[in-house]
C-alpha cells in the first residue's frame, strides 16, 4: 500500500474510490402516514461510492465514515457557503491525522472542493470580541 500523504489521499478520493454506508429510504407519496404527506420505508443500510470531492462532503454529517486503504475518515469541520464569502473548505480526520481540502463558493453556482489538500493540525486560539455593554 502507498504511504499516506495528502496527495495520495486527495488522488484516492478524487478518483471516486472511497465508499461509505448509509441507510436508504423509499418514499411513497400516495400513502400519507403520521401526519406526513408520505410514507417513509427503510431499505436498510447500503454501500455507496463517494463520487470524488464532487459529492457533498462539505455538508456531510459528522458520523458518516468514508473508507480508504489507510483507514476510515470523517468530516470534522467545514466552512463556507451562503453568507460566508467565497471561502469554502472541509477538514477530515483519518486516524489521528487531519487534512483540509480547499475550495471556493459562488452564490450563483454553489461550492466546490477543487483546491489542494493539506495535512493540518488543530490549534487552539484565544480571541477577543467586543460586545455591547449592558
- What is the reported pLDDT for 41? 82
H or E element, residue 97 = strand 97-106
Q: Tell the burial category of 1 from Cβ atoms under 10 Å away from its Cβ (0-12, 13-18, 19+).
A: exposed
Write the pLDDT tens digit of every residue in 105-118.
887 777 778 899 99
Residue 92 within any structural domain of the chain: yes
- What is the reported pLDDT for 60? 72
Q: Tell the burial category of 78 from Cβ atoms under 10 Å away from its Cβ (0-12, 13-18, 19+).
A: buried
- What is the reported pLDDT for 55? 64
Residue 125 within any structural domain of the chain: no
Contacts of 48 (CB under 8 A, 6+ apart): 19, 20, 21, 22
Residue 25 within any structural domain of the chain: yes
Q: Which domain holds residue 80?
A: 6-120
Residue 131 within any structural domain of the chain: no
Residue 127 within any structural domain of the chain: no
Residue 133 within any structural domain of the chain: no
- What is the reported pLDDT for 85? 66
Residue ranges, the chain, pLDDT below 50: none
Contacts of 132 (CB under 8 A, 6+ apart): none
Residue 115 within any structural domain of the chain: yes
Under 8 Å between Cβ of 113 and 91: no
Residue 17 within any structural domain of the chain: yes
- The number of folded domains in the chain is 1
Amino acid at each position: 500500500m502507498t504511504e499516506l500523504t495528502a496527495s495520495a489521499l486527495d488522488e484516492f478520493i478524487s478518483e471516486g474510490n472511497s465508499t461509505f454506508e448509509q441507510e436508504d429510504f423509499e418514499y411513497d407519496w400516495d400513502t400519507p402516514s403520521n401526519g406526513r404527506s408520505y410514507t417513509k420505508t427503510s431499505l436498510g443500510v447500503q454501500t455507496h461510492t463517494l463520487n470524488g470531492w464532487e459529492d457533498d462532503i462539505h455538508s456531510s454529517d459528522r458520523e458518516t465514515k468514508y473508507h480508504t486503504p489507510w483507514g476510515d475518515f470523517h468530516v470534522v469541520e467545514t466552512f463556507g457557503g451562503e453568507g460566508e464569502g467565497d471561502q469554502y473548505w472541509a477538514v477530515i480526520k483519518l486516524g489521528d491525522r487531519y487534512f483540509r481540502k480547499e475550495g471556493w463558493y459562488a452564490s450563483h453556482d454553489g461550492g466546490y472542493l477543487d483546491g489542494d489538500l493539506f495535512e493540518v493540525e488543530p490549534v487552539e486560539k484565544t480571541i477577543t470580541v467586543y460586545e455591547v455593554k449592558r
